[in-house]
Amino acid sequence: MRGVAPRLTQLGLLAVLVATLSNLGLLNLDLLVRGAGNIAVFVAAMFPPNLAVLERVSWALLETLQIAYVGTALGAVLALPMAFLATGTLFGPRVTAPTRFALAFVRTIPALLWGIVFVVAVGLGPAAGALGIGLYTLGYLGKLFYEIFEGVDPEVLEAVRGVGCNRLQLARFAVLPEAANGVLAQLLFMFEYNVRASSIMGFVGAGGVGYYMLGYIQLLRYDALMTAILVTLVVVLFIDWLSRRIRGLFIQPANVGE
Amino acid sequence: MELTEQPSEAPAAESPGALAPPPGEAVVIRDLWFAYRGAAPVLHGVDFVARRGQITMILGASGSGKTTLLKLIKGFLRPSRGSLTVLGRTWSAGGPDPQITAATSYIPQNLGLLRNMTVLENVLIGALGRMDTIPSLLRSFPRDMVVEASGVLERLGLGGKDHLKVHTLSGGERQRVAIARARLQRATLLLADEFVSQLDPITKTEVMNILRTRSKEAGTTYVQTTHQLDVVEQFADHVVVLREGKQVLDSPAAGLDVMEIARIIKQ
């Protein structure tokens, strides 16, 4: 009898998967064969990459990096105080609950949609992209930060709170130093993520290499698109490598000496 | 929280601003009960006095309520029933009082040191309660405070280690950093949870000697939970034993046989 329930669960999940695949049209063999053919044509048209656009997309990618950098910094600066207000070990539910709700609301709206909102607000260009990325970052880092803050060893909080300090001092001298490794790790992750997110901000007119990518797709210039994708890939790989180096420099193993 | 000032004649032990407990009594606990919300009581009518300048040791098996009792004295938890007078201030509904918090130092079992900070920074944290918020947030500690912290470290045998990260220190050295932090707080009451339980016998004796000297010289009251009978035998002035939250012994340590204490704990 004990083995029946798991088996039924497995069969149920399999049935849901098959039904969903069918619903999405992914069991339509004709569609898949036709799609594969189109992909082959698409990929063939991407090679060789058109290096004539290299300089243009490189400058646009620099703008993408600026959007990601400013957006991450802006979001992190706003996320830090919000995360403190959302931390249950520092404040009661009357403070944490509305703060968490605000962060969840900001996080619910995708970065691209925030980009559209800011294109409407401040006009076309990278400023809208940076603000959109910044707000999205606030929602995400705010949540990640307060979860890290709440994971700080309660004994450290008790020891520091016990000297008679106030909440700001507690946040500054106990929560932040203890959470620093986690905060830095999430910050680097968010920057890597934002470089990718910023690369499509141009789709909605919010600056960066995405503007050219969308243009090349619409003009069927897949060889130029390939150049933009390759340049973005190289930069993303470089940033991943750089992040790893920074982590190695600043982040110590969590259990050292304790 | 209900607080009532009680008359006090004793001079402050370490600083002009420190609270002065009534002569002889640093902590007075009367019929103290405590239960976490929705759970059975953890403490059942605990009732004893920890005298000023003495080392009171609270013994009991794991889960007997020792740590909970220390947290109640510190003000981290609120009593369900009974009264608690700490350094001359009584509350029955409980809750941390800023003056008592400032004069009472609490060292948790794993010391609560910040591993990414230096020895000196960890010690200076003890002085946060005496500093204005803005300079402290900028880590702008007054020169005399830094000199005081370095002096305390020097006297505790940690001279020259000010700028090391605490995670590079040995267990005994970390215990001394926790003591130094309490010194900077200028606490007249020191509460410590299983303070020397992870140390080797020689280091344990060294650290306990530091505390005993301090309690005799400066009149600092010291309340420690422990399960180590050798520490009790050598250093306790006063012994309280808890069993499943009930107080089963409250006695001066002089003349107590540790084997008898062990029997009471296990009974």
Cross-chain residue pair B102–A163, CB shorter than 8 Å: yes
Lowest mean pLDDT among A146-155, B13-22, B71-80: B13-22
The whole-angstrom distance between residue A102's C-alpha and the CA centroid of its chain comes to 18
Number of domains in chain B: 1
- Is residue B121 one of the residues assigned to a domain? no
- What is A49-104 written as a DSSP string? --GGGHHHHHHHHHHHHHHHHHHHHHHHHHHHHHHHHT-TTTS-HHHHHHHHHHHH
Instruction: Flag whether pLDDT at B17 surpasses 50.
Output: no
On the question of a cis peptide bond just before residue A48, with omega within 30 degrees of 0, the verdict is yes
3-state secondary structure of B46: strand
Cross-chain residue pair A252–B104, CB shorter than 8 Å: no
pLDDT confidence of A222, banded at 50, 70, 90?
very high
Instruction: Flag whether pLDDT at A18 surpasses 60.
Output: yes
| Pairwise pLDDT comparison (A48 vs B24), residue with the higher score | A48
Instruction: Flag whether pLDDT at B8 surpasses 70.
Output: no
Cross-chain residue pair B166–A155, CB shorter than 8 Å: no
Does A159 contact chain B (CB < 8 Å)? yes
In contact, A231 and A61? CB cutoff 8 Å:
yes
pLDDT for res B197: 79
Convert the pLDDT of each residue in A168-204 to its tens digit: 999 999 999 999 989 999 999 999 999 999 988 988 8
pLDDT for res B99: 76
pLDDT for res A2: 61
- Is residue B222 one of the residues assigned to a domain? yes
Burial status of residue B184 (CB atoms within 10 A of its CB: 0-12, 13-18, 19 or more):
buried
- Is residue B41 one of the residues assigned to a domain? yes
Per-residue pLDDT, averaged over A143-153, amounts to 96
B263 CA to chain A: closest CA distance, Å? 31
3-state secondary structure of A169: helix
Enter the tokens of residue A31: 């569609």
B135 CA to chain A: closest CA distance, Å? 10
pLDDT confidence of B88, banded at 50, 70, 90?
confident
Separation between Cα atoms, residue B210 and residue B207, nearest integer Å: 5
- Closest residue in A to B102 (Cα) is A164
Q: Write the DSSP symbol of residue B42.
A: E
Q: With a threshold of 0.90, tell me whether the complex ipTM lies above it.
A: no
Convert the pLDDT of each residue in B193-210 to its tens digit: 988 877 888 888 888 888
Of A158, A168, A177, the CB nearest to B114: A177
Q: What crossing angle do the helices spanning A111-122 and A126-150 adopt, rounded to 10°? A: 140
pLDDT confidence of B16, banded at 50, 70, 90?
very low
CB within 8 Å of chain A, chain B residues 94-123: 98, 101-102, 104-117
pLDDT for res A254: 41
Does A253 contact chain B (CB < 8 Å)? no
In contact, B105 and B189? CB cutoff 8 Å:
yes
Instruction: Flag whether pLDDT at B158 surpasses 50.
Output: yes
Per-residue pLDDT, averaged over B234-246, amounts to 93
DSSP lists the bridge partners of residue B44 as B246
Does B170 contact chain A (CB < 8 Å)? no
In contact, A185 and A51? CB cutoff 8 Å:
no
CB pairs under 8 A between A and B: 91
Per-residue pLDDT, averaged over A49-53, amounts to 93
B121 CA to chain A: closest CA distance, Å? 9
| Pairwise pLDDT comparison (B207 vs B145), residue with the higher score | B145
- Give CA angle at A91 (B135, B43), nearest 5°: 110
Question: Considering the entire predicted model, what is its pTM?
Answer: 0.79
Which residues of chain B are within 8 Å of residue A159 when distances are taken between CB atoms?
106-108, 111-113, 178, 181
CB count within 10 Å of CB B141 equals 19
Which residues of chain A are within 8 Å of residue B165 when distances are taken between CB atoms?
257
- Give CA angle at A60 (A59, A66), nearest 5°: 95
| Pairwise pLDDT comparison (B243 vs B102), residue with the higher score | B243
3-state secondary structure of B238: strand
Does B128 contact chain A (CB < 8 Å)? yes
Q: Which residue, A141, A118, A113, A121, is CA-closest to A131?
A: A118
Separation between Cα atoms, residue B127 and residue B141, nearest integer Å: 9
B50 CB-near residues (< 8 Å, 6+ apart): B25, B26, B27, B56, B221, B223, B238
Separation between Cα atoms, residue B105 and residue B184, nearest integer Å: 10
Per-residue pLDDT, averaged over B219-234, amounts to 91
Does A257 contact chain B (CB < 8 Å)? yes
DSSP lists the bridge partners of residue B85 as B28, B90
- Closest residue in B to A159 (Cα) is B112
A79 CA to chain B: closest CA distance, Å? 18
Residue B83 amino acid letter: S
Residue A96 amino acid letter: T
Cross-chain residue pair B114–A153, CB shorter than 8 Å: no
Residue B236 structural domain:
22-114+187-266
Instruction: Flag whether pLDDT at A105 surpasses 50.
Output: yes
A98 CB-near residues (< 8 Å, 6+ apart): none
Does B137 contact chain A (CB < 8 Å)? yes
| CATH architecture assignment, domain A68-249 | Orthogonal Bundle (1.10)
pLDDT for res B155: 87
pLDDT for res A54: 94
Separation between Cα atoms, residue A190 and residue A199, nearest integer Å: 14
pLDDT for res B96: 61
3-state secondary structure of A206: coil
Best residue of B68, B101, B115, B174 to probe chain A, by most A CBs closer than 10 Å: B115
CB within 8 Å of chain A, chain B residues 74-93: 74, 76
- Is residue B133 one of the residues assigned to a domain? no
Where do the structural domains in chain A lie, given as residue ranges? 68-249
B250 CA to chain A: closest CA distance, Å? 27
CATH assignment at residue B247: 3.40.50.300
Burial status of residue B186 (CB atoms within 10 A of its CB: 0-12, 13-18, 19 or more):
buried
Please give the helix or strand (H or E) that residue B35 lies within, else none: strand B25-35
Per-residue pLDDT, averaged over B176-191, amounts to 92
Q: Which residue has the tokens 């949609």?
A: A113
pLDDT for res B203: 82
Does B171 contact chain A (CB < 8 Å)? no
pLDDT confidence of B241, banded at 50, 70, 90?
very high
Instruction: Flag whether pLDDT at B39 surpasses 80.
Output: yes
